[in-house]
């Protein structure tokens, strides 16, 4: 397929695809962080996260449609999606925790929640693909023969800032301290006077909000929104989270970037039909070679 391309072209394509992959990878990282945050505290993989991401994009689209302006629409979407995250925990997961149910019950519950959210989106917004405004497109930026899409630069930078911000919250604030304490031992933390239920809610809020930012960024990049959009992206972000070591924030970033870039290269050199499988091939390899992921902690027992 690349036989038609000249050598110079190939170099350009390789660099260009790197940018395509990095931008996408950062957005995956933002979603992966949501998996990581929740996993860190509850030892639970929250499979409703992909649907939460789709929800955020639809909410942003709704408010853009109501002429709120793009920035207020995004802020509303972030807040509402964060609240949705909290609601998922309060309505579906907290009762299970109170009853000391087996972990598998919570896991299946999150899958159920994912279907509920996705179907509600189908009912209220229809199944068709809808156009999303390209609100951060400032044309192309040229570096010699390499052109970089400003959209991709914005995606990368915004995601990076947010990830740094999240890391600061966790490492430098009181809430972050409480989160880390709950992560290590929730019973001990609650004995020390930490309101663990509040901490868990805050974690779900942060996870939802970061998914919302990723949702808005990716929708602005592809300019397409539909209820099923979160499924594949959610699974890929999950692969990214596992790759980096689930529960470790910077691991999610590295995992996201690896998945994004390898996906981009797979699409170039192996054909577009392989792009979706690459993330999962990586996931399987990681699970075989290094089950805890690249930066994962060894002592995870509860899963």
Residues forming the site for another protein (CB under 8 A): 1-2, 4-5, 9, 12-13, 16-17, 20, 24, 45, 47, 107-108, 111, 114-115, 118-119, 122-123, 127-131, 134, 137, 140, 147, 149, 151, 221-224, 228-229, 231, 235, 238, 242, 264, 267-268, 271-273, 275-276, 283, 287-288, 291-292, 300, 303
List the helix and strand counts (H, then E) for the chain.
12, 4
**Nearest to another protein of 112, 171 (CB atom):** 112
Q: How far is the CB of 90 from another protein (least distance, A)?
A: 22
The answer to whether 55 touches 81, Cβ cutoff 8 Å, is yes
Q: Which is nearer to another protein, 81 or 219 (CB)?
A: 219
Closest approach, Cβ 12 to another protein, in A, equals 5
253-256: Cβ within 8 A, 24+ apart: 253/26, 253/29, 253/32, 253/33, 253/163, 254/294, 254/295, 255/28, 255/29, 255/32, 255/293, 255/294, 256/25, 256/26, 256/27, 256/28, 256/29, 256/30, 256/31, 256/32
Phi, psi of 243 (to 5 degrees): -60, -45
> Least distance in Å: CB of 159 to another protein?
16
**To the nearest whole angstrom, how small is the minimum distance from the Cβ of residue 55 to another protein?**
14
The minimum distance between CB 194 and another protein, in angstroms, equals 27
Nearer to another protein, 146 or 175 (CB): 146
Residues 287/242, Cβ–Cβ less than 8 Å? yes
Of 75 and 111, CB closest to another protein: 111
DSSP 194-225: --HHHHHHHHHHHHHHHHHHHHHHHHHHH-EE
| Of residues 36, 56, 112, 34, the one with CA closest to residue 230 | 56
Identify whether the C-beta of residue 163 lies closer than 8 Å to the C-beta of residue 30.
yes
Q: Identify whether the C-beta of residue 295 lies closer than 8 Å to the C-beta of residue 245.
A: yes
CB of 138 to another protein, least distance (A): 10
The structure tokens 């880390």 sit at 180
CB-wise, 140 or 157, nearer to another protein?
Answer: 140
| C-beta of 91 vs 131, nearer to another protein | 131
CB of 149 to another protein, least distance (A): 6
- Residue (109 or 182) nearer to another protein, CB: 109
């Amino acid at each position: 397929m690349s036989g038609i391309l000249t050598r110079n072209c190939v170099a350009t394509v390789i660099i260009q695809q790197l940018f395509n992959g990095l931008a996408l990878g950062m957005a995956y990282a933002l979603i992966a962080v949501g998996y990581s945050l929740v996993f860190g505290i509850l030892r639970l993989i929250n499979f409703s996260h992909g649907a939460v991401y789709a929800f955020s994009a639809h909410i942003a689209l709704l408010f853009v449609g109501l002429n709120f302006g793009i920035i207020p629409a995004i802020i509303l979407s972030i807040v509402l999606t964060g609240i949705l995250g909290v609601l998922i925990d309060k309505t579906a997961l907290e009762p299970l925790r109170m009853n000391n149910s087996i972990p598998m019950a919570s896991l299946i519950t999150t899958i159920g929640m994912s279907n509920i959210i996705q179907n509600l989106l189908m009912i209220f917004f229809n199944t068709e693909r809808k156009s999303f405004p390209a609100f951060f497109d400032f044309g192309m930026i040229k570096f010699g023969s390499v052109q970089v899409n400003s959209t991709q630069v914005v995606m990368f930078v915004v995601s990076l800032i947010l990830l740094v911000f999240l890391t600061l919250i966790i490492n430098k604030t009181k809430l972050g301290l409480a989160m880390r304490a709950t992560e290590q031992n929730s019973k001990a933390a609650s004995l020390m006077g930490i309101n663990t239920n509040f901490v868990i809610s805050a974690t779900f809020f942060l996870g939802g909000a970061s998914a919302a930012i990723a949702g808005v960024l990716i929708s602005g990049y592809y300019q397409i929104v539909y209820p099923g959009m979160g499924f594949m992206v959610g699974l890929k972000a999950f692969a990214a989270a596992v790759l980096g070591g689930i529960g470790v924030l910077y691991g999610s970033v590295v995992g996201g970037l690896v998945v994004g870039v390898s996906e981009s290269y797979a699409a170039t050199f192996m054909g577009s039909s392989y792009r979706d499988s690459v993330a999962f091939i990586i996931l399987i390899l990681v699970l075989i070679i290094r089950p805890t992921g690249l930066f994962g902690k060894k002592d995870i027992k509860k899963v």
